Structure 1
Amino acid sequence: MAIGVSLQTLVDIEAGKHGVSIGKILQVAQGLGVSLFVIPQSQREIARRRLSDLIADNRP
């Protein structure tokens, strides 16, 4: 794969296996054009509601 990780690493990530480094996960995410970020536990419900509202507002 052109993002510099082995096929086995991709298989392990997809399978949810423990032991894959966060660096490799971030490398794959970047290669796929996906941004990852952390939402503090205390803010997760608020974030879920706001995201649901945004999705609903953008539906045809």
Structure 2
Amino acid sequence: MEVDGKYFKEKLGGYYRSYQEIEGMKIPTEGEVEWNLSDRDLQYVKLKITDIQYNITEKY
């Protein structure tokens, strides 16, 4: 984690929920990632999957 140009090692955690079957595959459709700081948890990213494609042979 970077604060005022200085870098610190901090724990990073993630949570996944709302498993649904999409395109024949059961996946978590919501997730959050957060820094676990000594005084609080700081949300880094929040995700929501609404569609998925896999095994695509063309380059993107």
Scaled by the length of structure 1, the TM-score of the pair is 0.25
Structure showing the higher strand proportion among its residues: 2
With normalisation by structure 2, the TM-score equals 0.25
**Higher share in helix:** 1
- Bigger CA radius of gyration: 2
